[in-house]
Structure 1
Amino acid sequence: MTANNHHDINGDIRYISLLSQSFPTIADASTEIINLEAILNLPKGTEHFLADIHGESEAFQHVLKNASGNIKRKVNELFAGNIRESEKQELCTLIYYPEQKLELVKAVETDIDDWYRITIHQLVRICRDVSSKYTRSKVRRSLPADFSYIIEELLHESADDTDKAAYVNVIVDTIITTGRADDFIIALSTVIQHLAIDQLHILGDIYDRGPGAHIIMDAMRNYHNWDIQWGNHDILWMGACAGNNACICNVLRLSLRYANLATLEDGYGINLVPLATFAMDVYGDDPCEEFIPKLLKDNRMDEKTMQLTAKMHKAICIIQFKEEAHIFNRRPEWGMQDRCMLNTIDYNSGTCTVDGKQYPMLSNHFPTVDPTDPNRLTPEEQMLMDKLHHSFAVSEKLHKHIRTLLSHGCMYAVYNSNLLYHASIPLNDDGTLKEVELSKGRKYSGRELMLNMGMMIRSAFENDTDPEDRKYATDYFLYLWCGKNSPLFDKSKMATFERYFLKEKETYHEEKGNYFKLRDDETVCDRILDAFGVTGPNRHIINGHVPVHASKGENPIKANGKLMVIDGGFSEAYHKETGIAGYTLVYHSRGFQLVQHEPFTSAADAIQRGTDIKSTTQIVEMSAHRMLVADTDKGTELRAQIADLKKLLYAYRHGIIKEKR
C-alpha cells in the first residue's frame, strides 16, 4: 500500500480504528494476515446437502453420522488392503455409534486392552485425515475439553516416525490404564463425525409424516454449522406456532393421517384429550372410513385406537375447512375463495361441485355443519379450537425449535455459486419471473419475492410488528402452505377435500406450476440464477420438495447439470412411489457427488449387525483442480479481511493510528 492510499485510509478511519481494537499492534495484524493467507490455500471444506427429512430421525441421524458415506469412503481409502471388509465396517459402526458399539465389543472381546490400542490408533489416523482441511485452531475448537490436548498431540505426532512412536504409544497406553479408553474413543468418534462435514445445508421439510421431527430439531440445536431453507411443512408448523388456527388444524390432520402423534404429544406436549373427547361425542356413531390412518413401519395400533384416531382425524378435518374459509374470505386478494369447500356441498343430495361438475360424496355426515352457514364453527368447535390454540401457544419446546428455524433459516440462500431453496420460484408461462402480491398491493418476483416473504414470516414473531401487519403475516402462513403462487407450493390447488370425500381421481389433480414444467430448461435456470445474483462458471440450483421417481427412470440432475433435485423420499410414505429412500449431495474439494440411498432399517440393526444404508454414488461434476478455500465465498470474505488488515498496517506504519502496546 502506497502513499496514494492515504486518502482511502482516512475514508475508512472509523472502521480501521475499530479493527485496531482486535489487532492492537503491527505484529498482531501481520500474524492475522499470515494466518488468513494460509487458510486461503487449504482445501475447500465439505458441504452436505439434505432435503425432505419428514421426521425420519433415525435415518437422518445415521446419514448425518456417516456423512452420506463420506466416512466409509475415507476408511476404505485409508485401510485398503490392510484390514478385512468386516473390520472396516465394524470401525465405521464404532464411529457412528461409539457408546452402543463399545458395549457390544466389551461383551465379546477377550483382550480388550489390545483392541483398545489397535482401535485408538485407527481412529487417530482417520481423525488426522478428516482434519487435514482445517487450521489447527479450527480443529482445536472442535475438540472436547477433556481430551483436547491429548487429541491434538496424537494428530500431529506420527507413530510411523521411529523417534515419536514410543511417545505416541505411551499416550495411548496411559489412556487405557487410567480407564479413559471408552470416553476417549467416544470423544474421537464425535470429532470425526463433526470434521467430516464442514457445513450442513437442509433444504426444508424437517416436519410431518415421520415420528421424530422434535428429535431432529434437538440434534440441530447442537450441530456445529448448519442452515435451513424453510420447506412447506416447516412453514406449516411455524404458522401453527405463530397462532394460525388453520395451520394448527393442518398440523393435527397430517399427524392423525399418519398416526404420528409422538411429535405432538411427546415432543411438544400438545394436549389432544379435548379433541378425542369432542370426536367421540360428535362422531361416535360415524365409522369415518375415509379417515382411517395410514400406518407406516413399526406403527401398530389396535382397532379401538384406530377408530378413535379416525374420528379425531375427521373432526379436525372439518374444522380445518372452516378455519381456512375464514382466512380465504378475510383475504379475498389471494383469490382462494373457490377453496371454501364446504360451500360446494349440496347437503340434501349428498353431492358437491368441483370445477363446475357435480360429484357424489363418499360421506354426507356433517353433524357440525349448518348448510345455511357452513363455515361457522359450532360453540363446541370454537371451545375446542381455543384449547388447541392455547396448547400450541404455551409449548415452550415448540417455540424454542421454531426460534431455531428462524435463526438458522430463510426462504433461500446462496453458497459457493449454489442457489438453495426448497421448492420453486414462481414463473410465467414463458419462463420469465412471475410477480406475486404479498400485501397492500406490493408485488415482487425472484430474489425480492423470497427476501420479502422471509421478512414477513419473521414479522409474525416480532412484538414490534404493527398489529395489523402481524395479523396479515400470521394469516399468510396458510397462503405459503397452499396458495397457487406460493414458492413453497406452486400448484393450482391443494385437493385435500377431494381426496377425503370423492372417489373420482380426476378431482385430485393438482396442476403443477410453470417452474416444475420448465425447470429442465437450461435457459430458465440461468434466468433464475441471474435474478439471484449467482455467478461463477459452475453455478447450480439445488432444491428438494418433489420426490424423484428413480424407479421410473427419472434423473435428479436436470437442465444439463444446472439444477439438482435431492428429494428422493426420506419418508417411508414415499418409498413405494419413488423406489428409493432419498438423495443427498456432497460437495467437497474435488466436486459434487450425488448419493442415492436405499431404505434405512434401524439404528439398532446398524449397531448389532454393522449394517449401513446402502448407497450408490454418482459423480455429478468434478473440478479440474482441487478447490481451495480461496475458490469459495469464504475465500472472498477472507481476501476482504486481508485488504482491511493491510490498511491497518499502513495506518500503523504511517502514524495515522497508534499501536496499543
Structure 2
Amino acid sequence: MIFYDEDNLEIIEKDLRYLQLLSNQYPTISSASTEIINLQAILNLPKGTEHFISDIHGEYESFTHMLKNASGVIKRKIDDVFGNSLREKQKAALATLVYYPEQKLELIEQTEASAEDWYKITLYQLIELCKNICSKYTRSKVRKALPQDFAYIIEELLHEQEDGVDKHAYYNGIIKTIIDIDRAGEFIIAISKVIQNLVVDRLHIIGDIYDRGPGADIIMEALIKHHSVDIQWGNHDILWMGAAAGCEACICNVLRISLRYANLRTIEDGYGINLLPLATYAMEFYEKDECKGFKPRTLDKDISNNELNLLAKMHKAISIIQFKVEGSIIKKHPEFQMDDRMLLDKINIETGEINLYGKTYKLNDTTFPTIDWKNPYELTEGERDLINKLTRSFINSEKLQKHIKFLYSKGNMYLAYNSNLLYHGCIPLNENGSFKEVKIGNIKYSGKALLDRFDRVARDSFFFKNDMELKNYGMDMMWYLWCGPNSPVFGKSRMTTFERYFIDDKDTHYEEKNYYYKYRDNEKICKNILTEFNLDPDNSHIVNGHIPVKTKEGESPIKANGRLLVIDGGFCKAYQPQTGIAGYTLIYNSYGLLLTSHEPFAAIKDAVKNDRDILSSTIILEHVVTRKRVADTDKGLELKSQVKDLEKLLIAYRKGLIKEGYESKW
C-alpha cells in the first residue's frame, strides 16, 4: 500500500517532467502496478553466480574449458541434481556433454549401440539439470536465453510439474517426437548452451588476456559472444590497446614479447599483421649475428633451427628499435621520471661495458649495427620506414580494432561491483602505506582519483583521432602505464628489459615492487583501499591479479584476513613451473565465495574423448547462513530505485497530476 502526504507530493511535482517520460513506458495504473510487482519479485530471487578469471595470457584451450565448466559450477550442479542416482563416470560423461555437445555427439554416434535410448535418457537428464539452473531466474530472463529454434519446446519442458499426471504423456510425447524427427542432437546442443549461459550470471576478467599464449584473439571472440562480461585492464591488455591506437613503443613491445615466446600465431594468423618487413630488415642487418640472447622461449613448440635463428634476429631487431623509441618518449616527458631507463647512451662500445647506477657491468653482446653512438636514440632511415609499416598494419587490422573497441566498451581500470573491488595490478602506495600522489599534467592524483584519471587518458589515446595533441599524449601515457614506475597496472619501479638481454649479472634484473605488495597482506591497509573506493571495509573484498601466487612455495592467495584475494595462479604455461598450479578462479554465488585452484589442462580433444575435466580444489572462503538475494546486490539497488520511481508515478496518476495514457511531447 502506498502512502503519500504533502511533502512527497512536492517531490513528485519536482520530478513531474521525468515521471511524464516514464509514463510513456507505463501509461496506466495497471501497467505501473504490474511492473512494481514484477520488480519486487525479482528482488527476492537468489543472487546470480559471478565467475572471476585473471591473467589468461592467450591460453585459449584452458580458458575455453574454464568458461564452459564455470570453474566446476556445472559439475557441482550435476551432483546436486543427481546425487547418488548416477555413477561418477556417468556424471563425468554428462558434464563433458554439456561443455562440448557438438564434439561429444560425434563420439556418441560412433559408440552407442542404441542411440534412441541414449538420446531419451540424456534429454531427460539435461532437462532436469536445466530446471535446477533456471530456478533462480525469472521466466522472462530464461526465455531471452533460449535459442529461437527450440525456445517454445524448452520452455514447456522446463516448467513441467512432477505431479502433473495429466500432462505426463504430453511431455513424453515431446521428447519422443524430438528423437523421431532426428532433432535430438540439435536439441542437446541447444539446451547445453542454455545451461552454459545461465549457470553464470556475470563473468569478470581481472586483466591480462594478451601475450605469451597462442590464442588471445580466440579468447576475445569468446568474450564478445558472452552474455554478460566486464574486463579490468591488465598491463598486457594496455600494451595491445596502445599498439592498436598506433603507439610505436607499444607496438615494439608487443612484437618483442611475441617473438620472445615464439608466439606469432596471434600477430599473423589472428590479426593479419604482416611481419615480412621485419624479417627482411632483421636478415639484412643481423645476418651474421647469432643473437644468442634473443633465442625464443619455445616451451613445447616444435620449431626448426632455421626458424629459431630468424626469430632471434627479428627479436633483437625490434628490441633495439624499442629502446630507441622509448628513449624518445622519456626525453619528451621528464615528468615520467624515467631517466634511469635511458641506457643506450650509458654504453661504452669500445670497452663493451655499461655504467648503471655508479657501477660498471660487462655486456654479453656488443653487436649494434644500427646505433649511431653520437646519437644512439635516433632511428635509422630503415628503422623509421619499418616502424611506419608496422604501425599501419596494427591500425588497419580490422579484427584487432574490433577487439580493442570491445576492451574499451566492457573494460575499465577497476570495477566496484557487489561489494567487491576488482583491479589487475595495484593501488600505488607510499612507504608508510598511504596513497601515493602521482602528477599527471599539472594535477596530482592518488587512490581512486588516480585510476579514474588513467582510465580517461587511456580512452583519449584511442578515441581522440581529431585532436592529435591529446591522442599523442594519451599514447605516450599508454606506454607509461605498461612500464612506468607509478603505473597501477605495472606496479614496479622499473622494467629491466635491456638488462635481462645484455647483462649477465642478475642483480641488475631485479624489479622492485610498489609498496602495495608489502602491504597487501595488511588488513588495515586493504580496508583503507576499500573505503577509498566507497565500499564497506568490513564486508567487501579486493579481487586482484597480476603477480602469480607461488603456491608450491607455500604462498596463499588469501591475504589480509580474507579482505584481499589474488587469483593469478599461473594460467600461462610459462609461469606454471614457478607457481605449481594452473590458475585460481573465484565463484561468488548466493551462498558465498568459493576459491578454486586448478591443475594444468591437457587439451580439449582429450577432455572430450576421455571425459576429463580440469582437476580442481575448492576452498569455501565465506558461507552465509541467509542466502543472498538480488535485493542485496548492486542490481538490487537499481531495481529498488525503479520501484520508488514507479510508486511516484502511481501517486501522480492517482492525484491527477498525470493522466493515464499521457503521451509526452518531449
TM-score scaled to structure 2, two decimals?
Answer: 0.98
Which residue does 1:294 correspond to in 2? 297
Secondary structure, aligned partner of 1:572: coil
Give the Å deviation of 1:378.
Answer: 0.9
RMSD: 1.0
Deviation at 1:178, TM superposition (A): 1.2
Once the two structures are superposed, the pairs formed by residues 425-440 of structure 1 within 5 Å of their partners are: 425-438=427-440, 440=441
Specify the alignment match of 1:531 in structure 2. 532
CA deviations 1:315-339 (Å, max 9, x no partner) are 0011000010010111111111220
Give the Cα separation in 2 of the matches to 1:596 and 1:164.
45
Write the distance in 2 (CA, Å) between the matches of 1:488 and 1:112. Answer: 53
Aligned to 1:246: 249
How much does 1:467 deviate? 2.6
Write the distance in 2 (CA, Å) between the matches of 1:558 and 1:164: 54
Instruction: State TM-score, norm by structure 1.
Output: 0.99
2:514 counterpart residue number = 513
User: Is contact 1:363-1:501 (8 Å) kept?
Assistant: yes
Aligned residues of 2:105 and 2:185 also touching (Cα < 8 A): yes
Alignment of 1:239-638 (within 5 A): 239-297=242-300, 299-438=301-440, 440-463=441-464, 466-535=467-536, 537-638=538-639
Distance (Å, rounded) in 2 between the aligned partners of 1:159 and 1:356: 81
Q: Tell me the distance in 2 between the aligned counterparts of 1:595 and 1:160.
A: 38
Q: Which secondary structure does the structure 1 equivalent of 2:17 belong to? A: helix
- How big is the shift at 1:165? 2.1
Task: Give the whole-Å Cα distance in 1 for the aligned partners of 2:314 and 2:465.
Answer: 37
CA contact 1:159–1:168 (8 Å) conserved in 2? no
Corresponding residue number in structure 2 for 1:207: 210
Question: Once the 2 structures are TM-superposed, how far is the Cα of residue 437 of structure 1 from its aligned partner?
Answer: 1.4
Pick one of 108, 113, 131 that aligns with 2:134: 131
Q: Secondary structure at the residue paired with 2:574? A: helix
Query: For 1:340 and 1:381, how far apart are their aligned partners in 2?
Result: 19
CA distance in 2, matches of 1:528, 1:34: 38
User: What do residues 250-290 of structure 1 show as CA deviations (whole Å, max 9, x unaligned)?
Assistant: 00000000000011001111100000001111111111111
SS at structure 2 position matched to 1:27: helix
Question: Do the aligned residues in 2 keep the contact of 1:412 with 1:419 (CA within 8 Å)?
Answer: yes
For residues 399-456 of structure 1, the C-alpha deviation after alignment (integer angstroms, 9 at most, x for no partner) is 1000000000000111111011001001111111111112x21111111111111111
Deviation, 1:624, is 2.1
CA contact (8 A) 1:590 1:627 kept: yes
More divergent stretch after superposition (248-257 vs 631-640) = 631-640
- Quick check: 527-536 or 244-253, which moved more? 527-536
Q: 1: CA distance between counterparts of 2:435 and 2:623?
A: 31
> CA deviation digits over 1:495-520, x for unaligned, max 9?
10011111111000101111001111
Change (3 A) 1:491 1:463: closer
- Offset of residue 462 of structure 1: 2.1
Distance 2:162 2:104 in 1: 26
- Displacement of 1:77: 1.9
Q: Where do 1:63-82 residues align within 5 Å?
A: 63-82=66-85
Distance in structure 2 (CA, Å) of the matches to 1:136 and 1:456: 42
Q: Which runs of 5+ in 2 are unaligned?
A: none
* Pairwise CA distance, 1:81: 1.2
Q: Distance in 1 between matches of 2:351 and 2:205?
A: 48
CA contact (8 A) 2:531 2:537 kept: no
**1:164 Cα offset (Å):** 2.7
Relative to structure 1, the CA distance from residue 445 to residue 536 in structure 2 (aligned partners, 3 Å threshold; closer, same or farther) is closer
Q: 1:42 to 1:594 in 2, by over 3 A?
A: same
1:191-232 Cα shifts (integer Å, max 9, x gaps): 000001000000000000000000001111111000001000
Task: Give the C-alpha shift of residue 525 in structure 1.
Answer: 0.6
Q: CA deviation at 1:158?
A: 3.4
Report the equivalent of 1:49: 52
Instruction: Write the distance in 2 (CA, Å) between the matches of 1:422 and 1:270.
Output: 28
* Structure 2 SS opposite 1:133: coil
Instruction: Work out whether 1:197 is the aligned partner of 2:200.
Output: yes
Offset from partner CA, 1:452-474 (integer Å, 9 cap, x none): 11111111122466332221111
Please give the secondary structure, in 1, of the residue aligned with 2:117: helix
Query: Contact between 1:70 and 1:196, CA under 8 Å: does it hold in 2?
Result: yes
Paired letter, 2:415: A
Structure 2 letter corresponding to 1:235: I
Residue identity opposite 1:407 in structure 2: S
Query: Post-superposition shift, 1:3?
Result: 2.9
Once the two structures are TM-superposed, the CA of residue 296 in structure 1 deviates from its matched residue by 2.5
The CA deviation at 1:361 is 0.6
Q: Report the Cα distance in structure 1 between the residues aligned to 2:518 and 2:530, rounded to whole angstroms.
A: 17
- Where in structure 1 are there 5+ consecutive unaligned residues? none
* Distance in 1 (alpha carbons) for counterparts of 2:439 and 2:329: 16
Match of 1:152 among 129, 133, 155: 155
Q: 1: CA distance between counterparts of 2:650 and 2:538?
A: 35
Q: Is the 8 A contact 1:459 1:465 kept in 2?
A: no
- Which letter maps to 1:457? A
Distance in structure 1 (CA, Å) of the matches to 2:168 and 2:452: 56
Structure 2 residue 116 is matched with structure 1 residue 108: no
- Aligned partner of residue 627 in structure 2, secondary structure: coil
2:86 maps to 83
AA aligned to 2:612 is T
Alignment of 1:656 with 2:657, yes or no, is yes
C-alpha contact (below 8 Å) 1:51/1:205 kept by paired residues = yes
- Separation (CA, whole Å) in 1 of partners of 2:568 and 2:589: 20
Matched, 1:167 2:170: yes
The whole-number CA distance in structure 2 between the counterparts of 1:158 and 1:278 is: 71
Partners of 1:158 and 1:168 within 8 A in 2? no
**Matching residue of 2:180:** 177
- Aligned residue for 2:565, secondary structure, equals strand
* Structure-2 change in CA distance of 1:435 and 1:445 (3 Å): same
Q: Partner amino acid for 2:29?
A: I
TM-aligned CA deviation for residue 127 of structure 1: 0.5
**Paired residue for 2:26?**
23
> Structure 1 residue 161: deviation in Å?
3.8
**Which amino acid in the other structure matches residue 543 of structure 1?**
N
Aligned to 1:12: 15
* Counterpart AA for 1:149: Y
Equivalenced residue count is 659
Distance in structure 1 (CA, Å) of the matches to 2:171 and 2:357:
76
Q: Residue by residue, what CA displacement relative to the aligned partner does 1:10-34 show, whole Å, maximum 9, x if unpaired?
A: 1101111111111111111000000
**Letter of the structure 2 residue corresponding to residue 456 of structure 1:** V
Give the residue type in structure 2 aligned to 1:499.
R
CA distance in 2, matches of 1:536, 1:318: 47
Q: In structure 2, give the amino acid aligned to 1:351.
A: E
Amino acid at match of 1:321: F
The answer as to whether partners of 1:417 and 1:536 remain within 8 angstroms in 2 is no
Letter in 2 for 1:283: Y
CA distance in 2, matches of 1:373, 1:464: 32
Rounded to whole Å, the distance in 2 between the matches of 1:160 and 1:205 is 50
